[in-house]
Amino acid sequence: MNYTYFMLPLSILKGTERGVDEEGNFILAKDKKVYRLHVVGSVAALELNEESGSGYVVIDDTFSTVLAHFQKPLFNLFNDIVRGSLVEAIGSIDVYNESTTLYLNNIKKISLDRYCYNKLESIKNLKAIVV
């Protein structure tokens, strides 16, 4: 069974196999291919390049971190997002310098309530996908 989208803790990126097929890059969690992740965390680092309209953000969900990069269509979403902001992000699995990264599809600033709810959901999903 393949998942194109799944909310999971970032720790899933460590210790899982990576692969690529006709649908794109994926991580293999047990027997499930995960192509896109829905994650919540805080912004640990943020680099914006106004000239190219691109950049990267390091998201920390207390279990692990991930480097997520983005291009022009998402650049304006970072007007309110600063280091320390709580964010919810959706990204496609990507590989950069032999590391598993995310190519951001969407990101938004969230409240502490939403962060806590999504954190619990991601842990429940991890148990369902790994066990």
Positions of the chain with pLDDT under 70: 1-5, 130-131
Q: What is the pLDDT of residue 42?
A: 96
- Whether 93 contacts 27, CB under 8 Å: yes
| Residue 34 placed within a domain | yes
Q: What is the value of pTM for the model shown?
A: 0.86
* Residue 99 belongs to a domain: yes
- 2, amino acid identity: N
Domain enclosing residue 81, as ranges: 2-118
Count of domains for the chain: 1
Q: Considering the domain boundaries, does residue 114 fall inside one?
A: yes
Asked whether residue 129 is domain-assigned, the answer is: no
- In this structure, the strands spanning 65-70 and 6-7 are unpaired
- Does residue 130 fall inside a structural domain? no
Domain annotation covers residue 20:
yes
Domain containing residue 53: CATH number: 2.40.50.140
DSSP the chain: -EES-EE--GGGGTT-EEEEETTEEEEEETTEEE-EEEEEEEEEEEEEETTTTEEEEEEE-SS-EEEEEE-HHHHGGGGS--TT-EEEEEEEEEEETTEEEEEEEEEEE--HHHHHHHHHHHHHHHHHHH-
In this prediction, residue 3 carries a pLDDT of 54
- Nearest to 39, CA basis, from 115, 113, 129, 124: 115
**71 located within any domain:** yes
Q: Is residue 81 part of a domain?
A: yes
What is the pLDDT at residue 81? 94
